[in-house]
Structure 1
Amino acid sequence: MTSVESGRTKIIESVRAVPAVSGFFFDDQRAIKAGAEQDGFAYRGDPVTPGFDRVRQAGEAVSVLLELSDGTVARGDCAAVQYSGAGGRDSLFRAEEFAPVVEGTVADALVGRSAERFRDNTDVLEGLTTDGERLHTALRYGVSQALLDAAASARRGTKTDVLADAYGTVPATDPVPVFGQSGDDRRGNAEKMLLKGVPVLPHGLFNSVEKVGSDGGRLVAYLDWLSKRAVELGPEGYTPRFHVDVYGVLGEVFGPPYDRAEFTDYFADLREAAAPFPLQVEGPMDEGGREEQIYAMVELRDGLADAGVGVDIVADEWCNTFADVRAFVDTGAADLVQIKTPDLGGIGRSAEAVLYCDGTDTRAYLGGTCNETVTSARACAHVALATDAAQTLAKPGMGFDEGYMVMENEMRRAISRLESRTTVRENERRRQEQR
């Protein structure tokens, strides 16, 4: 690849920020867990987490536009997770508050720099501060996507190429398994996933005791239904992996210690209900801090291993930053860690987090949030390919079909370009040999 366009290196000439809408909503997770009552699509009650005006409010984003010296415009979207401000994350992201930072602090640092130099540019971005504080994770996330887009344009390659070169990887040759999320339409959207043969499903959004059941029984019944429908609706030879997110609610239903027979017996019931398909459970408890969460998850994994219960545990709560990912991996606290892309800041940090799992017993789930945008999702598809993650989230939105289409198609297009370039090189080599 080359960074030369008409004999000149592409330079970042301007940085603009455009307030935008995101793919879903901001939800006050603490208020919901405390019993905020659902009122149609909204919630009744007062917010608890600082920055929220309502328990559920419209999601926001900021589109970042980098104009290059050849007139090309590279794009990235600053977005934050649905449950902003919870589990040790940065504060609620407001477009009106943060757009001026992009056109001020960020622009001052990036204008005049070579667009090709992705890692150098993102290193500069990661070091920026305002009022003595690092830039909000959403800002670093969106600006780094634009820098990745700019580098791909400058090199006349794909974003997968840029990331593979930056981190010394060999990209996946098939699409990374996509994980569909159903939202509250647990049955209708799950059936859509089964008909399309989605490899990992359905997320389920079991974020309250009411949804899980006061004794956990509703989750067991749901998995039993899902396993039967998978056989009935899935394509021939379909072997999906079931993945449900319980947002710490099982910890509320059963309570510690988590290696006791009552808890492991319940996980055995979950496994039996999901059979014959493998099962992974995300965020079984939320202990209010990283060290406490790690201890509880290690305790649960040890209990499941001793009882011979084959259910994988996925880290989410309190696993937000790159340092958090390392801590969960190093202690063996999870079978998978969710790398929640907006929470890690720069998109390159997500790539590094996936690669940190290589050679360990922990698999990397490149996740994110329904509250992202198409632009940020497409960038993440290239991270998944470049690092060959174990699975990646269908996003944005909660309608399933749209997010699945965005991620699957972006990976297929990138792979086609990579294969085409390989074929061209191979044909050229053969022509040279025949001369």
Structure 2
Amino acid sequence: MQVKDVLIAPGNGAFFYDDQEAIRSGATQDGLIYVGSPTTPGFKTIRIPASSLSVGLVLGSDTVVWGDMMSVQYSGAGGRDPLFDTDQTSAITSRVVVPRLLDVDASRYLDACAKVFEPFEHKRLPLAIEYGVSQALLRAAAHLQRKTMAEIICEEFDLPLPTRRVPIYCQSGDAREINVDKMILKAVDVLPHGLINSRQKFGVDGETFMEFVKWVATRTREIGRPGYHPVLHFDVYGWIGLEIGLEPQSIADFICRVADIVPDFSLNIECPADFGFTQAQIENYAKIVSILDNRGSRARIVVDERCNTLEDIRLFAEAKAAHFIQIKTPDVGSMADTARAVLLCKANKVGAYVGGSCTETDLSAQASVHVSVATQADMMLAKPGMGVDEAFSIVGNEQNRLMAMLNRRRTQNENVG
């Protein structure tokens, strides 16, 4: 059950790392690039091709199982880890993590994670390392026990075998209209994200955003198949607060106006405002949630910025400071902590959304599927990339394959019983 060797290979993320602060400050787009100077430490340009780092565990049979490390698109913003550096990450992995990996029982997932991710020099390991290595360890345990990764999570957390798929949420990127059409034609469960990340896209008093919301609803009715009724989910990157102001009452009033223009749809609003630090975010989001609930609004608040680690998620969940919490997998770190985060949300009756980033890879997306299904999250992100087709097929196909395997396992167990 030991790891014989560890391989490290550089790779690409599926999109780009972007300097959120520079974009918020008014950087203009020229094709795919942003014009102007970066403001977030680590960025040499506002948009940088996403990089990743693969870690491979060589097991006793010479089978190699892999996991991928990377950061999220808006690294260094909203309290997140700095921009991913392949060379630095490779050096820490080789020097600190590899010796630990060679000394654990890879068949015992949570025990292995606990030992490998012990603090180094009194600091937590970079979250990107936790993320990638925990994927590899999960695949190792699954291989050694001849089970799916989802079954390993179920066993480790004493969960029943799941029977239900997890609704999938797609994100549009800047090609909003074309990608919305793709989502509707493919009957995506939750759509479209919208990438409302600038004043131009939000508009004066939010008028441009509200027109887009109205168009998405109309387009869904126009080209969607009969009976198709997705949840509408828009990420506004704090622009309600930036444009309308940071008073919770005013933010809630605006969100209610948005909900009123699409009365036949459930509406999720992600990151309505950024209050600058975690405690302020919790206090003010709790007020917004309370106002919406007291009004009986169908709108739901989704928290992203300032809610990164498992501890952050616990604080938001216990304070009821969101209707849904995005568990942004590379920011949480270990996949084991993603599982814990879902269960923590459920215990506090808050929606669990296993998210992540367009900068991820096929391997990290597939591992996220297994954790999402095992813990029965309320929704999960189609990832990686911004093209819809690729991400929806990677996540959707992995879910379908997993459910087929779990159904077979369930039948076997019933026959034995």
State TM-score, norm by structure 1.
0.93
Three-state SS of the structure 2 residue aligned to 1:82 is coil
Deviation at 1:428, TM superposition (A): 4.7
What's the Cα RMSD here? 1.3
- Which residue among 37, 41, 47 is the counterpart of 2:28? 37
2:313 alignment partner AA? V
Q: Which among 18, 35, 43 is matched to residue 9 of structure 2?
A: 18
TM superposition shift of 1:218: 1.1
> What's the counterpart of residue 100 of structure 1?
91
Over residues 369-408 of structure 1, what are the superposed CA-to-partner deviations in whole Å (9 max), with x where a residue is unaligned? 0000000000000010110000000000000111111111
Note if 1:133 corresponds to 2:132: no
Correspondence for 1:384? 372
The aligned counterpart of 2:57 is 66
Output the CA distance in 2 between the equivalents of 1:360 and 1:133.
29
Question: Do structure 1's residue 88 and structure 2's residue 94 form an aligned pair?
Answer: no
Partner of 1:292: 280
Amino acid at match of 1:348: A
Tell me, in whole angstroms, the C-alpha distance in 2 between the residues paired with 1:387 and 1:246.
28
| Distance in 1 of aligned mates of 2:407 and 2:294 | 46
- Trace 1:100-179 onto structure 2 (pairs within 5 A): 100-129=91-120, 131-179=121-169
1:15–1:102 Cα contact (<8 Å) kept: no
Give the 3-state SS of the residue equivalent to 1:168 in structure 2: coil
Match of 1:4 in 2: none
- 1:237 to partner: Cα distance: 1.4
1:296 CA drift (Å):
1.7
The normalised TM-score by structure 2 is: 0.97
Distance 2:350 2:415 in 1: 40
The gaps in structure 2 that reach 5 residues or longer are none
CA contact (8 A) 1:227 1:275 kept: no
Identity of aligned residues (%): 41
- Paired position in structure 1 for 2:70: 79
Q: After the TM superposition, which parts of structure 1 deviate over 4 Å for at least 4 consecutive aligned residues?
A: none
The answer for the alignment partner of 1:229 in structure 2 is: 219
Q: CA deviation at 1:124?
A: 1.2
Looking at structure 2, the residues matched to 367 and 172 of structure 1 have their Cα atoms a distance apart, in angstroms, of: 19
In structure 1, distance between residues paired with 2:390 and 2:283: 37
Per the alignment, do residues 266 and 226 of structure 1 end up closer, same or farther by CA in structure 2, a change over 3 Å counting? Answer: same
Is the CA contact 1:22–1:371 (under 8 Å) kept in the aligned structure 2? yes
Aligned partner letter, 1:117: R
Secondary structure of the equivalent of 1:221? helix
C-alpha separation between the residues in 2 aligned to 1:323 and 1:27?
26
C-alpha distance in 2 between matches for 1:205 and 1:385 = 26
Contact persistence 2:104–2:115 (CA under 8 A): no
The residue identity in structure 2 corresponding to 1:189 is: N
**1:267–1:309 Cα contact (<8 Å) kept:** no
- 1:16·1:102 contact (CA, 8 Å) conserved in 2? no
TM-aligned CA deviation for residue 233 of structure 1: 1.7
- Native 8 Å contact 1:259 1:304 kept in 2: no
- The equivalent residue for 1:341 is 329
Report what 1:326 is aligned to: 314
Q: What code does the residue aligned with 1:28 have?
A: D
**Contact 1:226-1:274 within 8 A present in 2 as well:** no
Which of 20, 24, 43 is the equivalent residue of 1:52?
43
Q: Is the 8 A contact 1:221 1:273 kept in 2?
A: no
Distance in 1, matches of 2:187 and 2:412, equals 32
* Cα deviation, residue 309, structure 1: 2.9
Q: Residues 360, 133 of structure 1: CA spacing in aligned structure 2 closer, same or farther, 3 A cutoff? A: closer
Q: Residue by residue, what CA displacement relative to the aligned partner does 1:153-187 show, whole Å, maximum 9, x if unpaired? A: 00000000101111111243132000000001111
Residue number in structure 1 paired with 2:397: 409
Unaligned runs of 5+ in 1: 1-9, 430-435
State the alpha-carbon separation in 1 of the partners of residues 161 and 354 from structure 2.
15
Aligned counterpart, 2:234:
244
